[in-house]
Amino acid sequence: MATIRIPPVLRAQTGGLTEVEAAGSSVGEVLRALTAEHPATEEQLFGPDGELNRYVNVYLNDEDVRVLQGLETAVSAGDTVIIMPAMAGGR
């Protein structure tokens, strides 16, 4: 299983958990396992087309999955999937 780090903005949807364990062989499968266990996270993570919302960044062991194979990026036991909402603002 992989560990998913939950950002503060999603913790209310996961009962306050900061990390959850999820099974899957790809980043997409791991995230879908998260949404199956915590359905309120689905709308935050995925758009109607089933793709990640554009304001959600996902990393596998500190590597942006967009520079890997996206949701098809392979996940191994012990890997960490990090969800980070995109930040905007500044001057």
Does position 87 have pLDDT exceeding 60, yes or no? yes
Per-residue confidence band for 89, with pLDDT thresholds at 50, 70 and 90: low
- The verdict on residue 91 lying in a domain is no
What value does the mean pLDDT of the chain take?
93
CATH number of the domain enclosing 40: 3.10.20.30
Determine the 3-state secondary structure of 80 from DSSP: strand
Rg (CA), the chain: 12
**Over 60: is that where the pLDDT of 90 sits?**
no
The residue range of the domain holding 59 is 2-85
Total domain count, the chain: 1
Q: State the pTM of this model.
A: 0.91
Write down the pLDDT at residue 85.
85
66's CB contacts (< 8 A; 6+ apart) are 57
**Beta-bridge partners for 52:** 46
Q: Evaluate whether 39 touches 60 at the Cβ level (below 8 Å).
A: no
CA torsion, points 19, 21, 27, 32, in degrees to nearest 10? -100
Phi, psi of 86 (to 5 degrees): -65, 145
Q: pLDDT, tens digit, for every residue of 12-35?
A: 999 999 999 999 999 999 999 999
d(CA 55, CA 34): 18
